[in-house]
Structure 1
Amino acid sequence: MVHSSSRDRVITECLAKPGAAEDYPFGDEVAVFKVAGRMFALVPLGPAPGSVSLKCDPGLAADLRGRYAAITPGYHLNKRHWNTVALDGSVPEEELLELIDHSYELVVARLTTAQRNQLMA
């Protein structure tokens, strides 16, 4: 049962980000997490163990794919800027949480100053 709780933890972490919203633009099967209307995480809701797709700096993305078999180029996304992480327990939870933070911060960094200030309010 560990795997479904990994997905629950990912969803909880994504929703905990300032201004984060959960959306279903691709149907009921994929939870999409956005900040100011921009995606920072996609979590398919299908069978365990599940996965999460996260925005990632291209250099770091390539490094992570080299270190973990569970991290692959983003599924149905820009493969240079997105990684998909299988929630099979092989990526340490602490690192996974850092990758969620990294994805969120990349998106927030591209927002306007006014949008960022609104998040911090």
Structure 2
Amino acid sequence: MNIDNFREYCLRKPGTTEEFPFDNETLVFKVMGKMYALSGLKTWEEGEPRVNLKCDPEYAQELRAEYPDSVLPGFHMNKHHWNTVVLNGEISMKQLQQFIDHSYSLIVSSLTKKLKEQLKSLD
């Protein structure tokens, strides 16, 4: 997967926006204003892309145990709720998409009723 594939996949999700809220190097994807994915652009340029994704805490522990070289506690994030996924070839594109879907779903499930209704109207 390259940065364009990653961006396109995230942007296909309803209610998703892309921003640079921290600096001009950290690309952040939000659904209805809440962050679900981010990645430093330099990691893509340097050949070892990394993506931070929200994750259910128990599932995060399982993934870290199964992929100790590829799924790490979230860098600069709450390590209980976020994973850093290193795209070193161990994680397939399909798996990464599933991880993105999981992150997006977690955020959507935490939205207020009003925001969920707004999101539903975007479909």
Structure 1 segments of 4 or more deviating over 3 A? none
TM, length-normalised to structure 2: 0.90
The residue identity in structure 2 corresponding to 1:115 is L
- Report the count of equivalent residues: 117
**Contact 1:56/1:102, CA 8 A, preserved across alignment:** yes
**C-alpha RMSD of the superposition:** 1.0
Distance 1:71 1:57 in 2: 13
1:112, distance to aligned residue in structure 2 (A): 1.0
The residue identity in structure 1 corresponding to 2:11 is L
- Match for 1:6 among 2, 7, 12? 2
Which structure 2 residue ranges, 5 or more long, are not aligned?
Answer: none
Please name the residue that 1:119 is paired with.
Answer: 119
Distance 1:53 1:36 in 2: 18
Listed one character per residue, the Cα deviations across residues 76-98 of structure 1 (whole Å, up to 9, x for unaligned) are 00000000001122112111101
Please name the residue that 1:94 is paired with.
Answer: 94
**In the alignment, does 2:59 pair up with 1:60?**
yes
The residue identity in structure 2 corresponding to 1:38 is K
TM, length-normalised to structure 1: 0.92
Among all aligned residue pairs of Structure 1 and Structure 2, give the percentage whose two residues are the same amino acid: 45
Distance 2:2 2:84 in 1: 14
Report 1 or 2 for greater relative contact order, CA contacts < 8 Å, sequence distance ≥ 6. Answer: 1
- Match for 2:16 among 20, 36, 56? 20
**In the alignment, does 2:77 pair up with 1:81?**
no
